[in-house]
């Protein structure tokens, strides 16, 4: 990863990032908003979240959406719509395959097959942050991530969430 991107992610998270593999999606403002992480942290601790949302503006907008009751409605539709359930299962399966591929590329033991993928997949709608991150990183794969994105405002419209100095140092303003 470029030092500028690492500095931006550090500012976004308010801490040094761990297990970074790369930028999985870039916000229209130019900053990373989703990063790909290794399935295990440097100390070997399992980290099942392959695609991690880093933008605090996006995270805030998604938090508001989670509080709206949308997840409860999504969960109900998941139980009643076999086609939707199949698409969500496919998103889960694809996520696990991508995570296993990342482990292999990092020379790591893959995570156990029964370990969660992300956001409650494939049976629950638990975290829209994770589902949106998945959809941003792999467009067209996560039905609930895509639906949540449709409900979100343009979080980048009033400028980037952080600004990194040209030198790539991690001082900047978190808005």
How many CB atoms lie under 10 A from the CB of residue 132?
A: 30
170 within some domain? no
Contact 40, 18 (CB under 8 A): no
91 within some domain? yes
pTM (predicted TM-score): 0.92
How many domains does the chain contain in total?
Answer: 1
71 by Cβ neighbours in 10 Å (0-12 / 13-18 / 19+) ranks as buried
Q: Which residues constitute the domain of residue 101?
A: 3-151
Strand partners, 32: 26
Closest CA to 59 of 18, 21, 104, 14: 14
156 within some domain? no
42 within some domain? yes
What does the DSSP assignment read for 20-87?
EEEEEEE-TTSSEEEEEE-SB-TTS-B---SEEE--HHHHHHHHHHHTTTHHHHHHHHHHH-HHHHHH
Q: What's the sign of the alpha-carbon dihedral 160, 129, 93, 117?
A: positive
Q: What is the pLDDT of residue 126?
A: 95
93 within some domain? yes
Report how far apart the first and last C-alpha atoms of the chain are (Å, whole number). Answer: 24
pLDDT tens, the chain, 175 aa long: 899 999 999 999 999 999 999 999 999 999 999 999 999 999 999 999 999 999 999 999 999 999 999 999 999 999 999 999 999 999 999 999 999 999 999 999 999 988 888 999 999 999 999 999 999 999 999 999 999 999 999 999 999 999 998 654 444 444 3
Q: What is the pLDDT of residue 175?
A: 37
Contact 144, 131 (CB under 8 A): yes
Q: What is the pLDDT of residue 167?
A: 54
67 within some domain? yes
160 within some domain? no
Residue recorded with tokens 């070997």: 44
16 within some domain? yes
Q: What is the pLDDT of residue 37?
A: 97
């Amino acid at each position: 990863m470029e030092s500028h991107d690492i500095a931006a992610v550090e500012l976004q998270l308010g801490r040094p990032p761990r297990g970074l593999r790369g930028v999985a999606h870039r916000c229209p403002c130019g900053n990373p908003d989703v990063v790909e992480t290794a399935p295990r942290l440097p100390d070997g601790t399992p980290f099942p979240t392959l695609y991690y949302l880093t933008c605090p503006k996006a995270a805030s907008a998604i938090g508001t959406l989670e509080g709206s009751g949308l997840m409860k409605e999504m969960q109900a539709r998941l139980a009643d719509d076999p086609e939707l359930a199949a698409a969500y299962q496919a998103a889960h399966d694809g996520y696990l395959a991508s995570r296993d591929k990342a482990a292999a590329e990092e020379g790591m033991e893959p995570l156990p097959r029964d370990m969660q993928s992300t956001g409650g997949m494939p049976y629950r709608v638990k975290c829209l942050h994770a589902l949106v991150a998945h959809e941003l990183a792999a467009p067209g794969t996560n039905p609930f991530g895509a639906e949540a994105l449709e409900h979100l405002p343009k979080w980048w419209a009033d400028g980037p969430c952080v600004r990194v100095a040209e030198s790539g140092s991690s001082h900047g303003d978190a808005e």
